[in-house]
Amino acid sequence: MPEAATSRPGQSGRLRRVLTRRDLILYGLVILTPTAPYPVFGIIQQESRGHATLTYLVAMVAMLFTAMSYGKMAAAFPSAGSTYTYAQRSLNEYVGFLAGWGMILDYFLIPLLSVIYASLTAQRLLPSVPYVVWVILFTTGMTAVNIRGIKVTARASSILMAVMTVIAILFIGVAARWVAAHAGLGGLFQLQGIYRPETFALRPLMLGAAIATLSYIGFDAISTLAEDTVDPEHTIGSATVICCILQTVICVVTVYLATLVWPDYRTLPNAETAILDVGGRIGGAWLLGLISLVLLVAGVASALTGQAGASRLLLGMGRDGVLSKKLFAYVHPKYATPTRSIYLMGAFAMLGGIFMHFQMAVELLNFGAFVGFILVNLSVIRHYFLRLGRRSGMDVVRHLIAPLLGAIVCAYVWMSLSNNAKLVGFLWLAIGLFYLGILTRGFKIHPKPFTFEQEA
């Protein structure tokens, strides 16, 4: 994917509009990855009572409405701030701050989630090494690399994407062959892979859908490239929707075949690494090892980039005065990296990896994401339908009905998260509201903006 030219700090200039729809789709799929359903397959199967495939179809509905809203808002406000900027400029500065506060939760949890899953996978490969040891090794390793500085280039992302795509296609092919060998070609088309009337219930299905949305987290990053894109008003929206559809196809086919391979979700040895058991059943040790390898590579890469992004978010907030400048605005004179923020993120990932369960981390990450999704849908209504008055013909559908349905579906799925996740998530928002009150002297002045751009 071609890289957009950016101006260096201290220089004037503008981003060049060079990215096409194809570039944006590739960028989105690289972020989402074709192996996205692997870490959560077993958890979704158990929580939805065997309806993992159906949960992804439900999640797709919420994501498609939201994807269209991201496209509309990217055209109106092309900014790297994305969700925060849309809510801040369309709804309210205080609401925008809370949207940014929810993004912070995601930034903190992405590297933590990657550390937890990489450690779980490594422990499956070498069970003699305690899980805690893997957590310590991964967190210290990624912290050491980020302290010295790391740049994940477009070429490296493309290589990683290619490797994961090959393994994802291989998994689908081997799983389909296994099902056909054991149940005939007709066995590839079974209703029980999608719907089981004996175990179906709406609330478990929606909880599964809430967890399944983890496979879509990151598609909104396409909207941050609006200033780099040719004809963003039309390109951003269509690219985001196409990316969501392609991701749904990948996820649905993967979990459908995995369900047919292992139909009884109650017998999964370990929900958090269930995809490894499926891989072992259909391909033996070689496929299990291959899937483990790609999960480790993807987990480590995600942890590295996640920690880098989170530390630079803290750096930006420190420079803005939203957080302590002395602690968070510090840049190491030799390595030119925000070392104090990196150390903080490393400590958070290590402690969280030791004491937090994978499913809780997934749900909390989705909690923060759904806050943003709901607000972006509402931003479309506020900006286009109410402020600009675009209400004629199909505008009513585009600017009111579609985003309203998106907000309602997202809110319903959001509220289907577990009680513990909602408790912690709303506590985080309450802390943000309290902190906002302090920054604005009792909501009497404007809040200072977050800085979401990552420093080089």
In a domain, 448, yes or no: no
- Range of 403's domain? 21-439
In a domain, 445, yes or no: no
Closest by CA position to 37, among listed 360, 262, 253: 253
pLDDT value, residue 430: 94
In a domain, 26, yes or no: yes
- Judged against a pLDDT cut of 90, whether residue 3 lies above it is answered with no
In a domain, 180, yes or no: yes
Q: Which of 161-165, 200-204, 247-251 has the lowest mean pLDDT?
A: 161-165
Express each pLDDT in 358-385 by its tens digit: 889 889 988 988 998 999 999 999 999 9
Total number of domains in the chain: 1
- Name the residue with higher pLDDT: 40 or 147: 40
- Judged against a pLDDT cut of 50, whether residue 407 lies above it is answered with yes
- Name the residue with higher pLDDT: 80 or 177: 177
pLDDT value, residue 129: 93
Torsion sign over Cα 123, 129, 132, 134 = negative
Q: Which of 150-159, 241-250, 264-273, 408-417 has the lowest mean pLDDT?
A: 150-159
CATH code of the domain in which 28 resides: 1.20.1740.10
pLDDT value, residue 305: 67
Global model pTM greater than 0.75: yes
Contacts of 349 (CB under 8 A, 6+ apart): 111, 112, 115, 139, 142, 303, 307
pLDDT value, residue 225: 67
In a domain, 283, yes or no: yes
- Judged against a pLDDT cut of 70, whether residue 160 lies above it is answered with no
- Judged against a pLDDT cut of 60, whether residue 46 lies above it is answered with yes
Q: Determine the average pLDDT of the residues in 26-35.
A: 78
pLDDT value, residue 278: 94
In a domain, 102, yes or no: yes
In a domain, 131, yes or no: yes
In a domain, 449, yes or no: no
